[in-house]
Amino acid sequence: MNDENTKAQQTYHVRVGHARVSVQCQSREQAIDLARRKLSSEMPRLYDLIHQMDVQRFQIEPAT
């Protein structure tokens, strides 16, 4: 097992405009990927927009 896999899972709140989702993962990059997937599942008609969106549009906060 490498270091990545042994890292602890953390909850992140990811906000894009008015939409906000919470995801559990190990890094900010993973949080964005998971947030894209979650948001596009909730808003399937915006799939292409969500997947093309720049990473700067995602505001990520670790849950306290």
Q: Using CB under 8 A, list all residues that contact other proteins.
A: 37, 40-41, 44-45, 47-49, 51
- CA–CA distance from 6 to each of 11, 35, 48, 58 (Å)? 16, 22, 33, 26
Cβ proximity to other proteins, 27 vs 62, nearer residue: 27
Cβ proximity to other proteins, 3 vs 48, nearer residue: 48
Cβ proximity to other proteins, 57 vs 63, nearer residue: 57
Give the shortest CB-44-to-other proteins separation in angstroms.
5
- CA–CA distance from 44 to each of 3, 10, 38 (Å)? 34, 26, 10
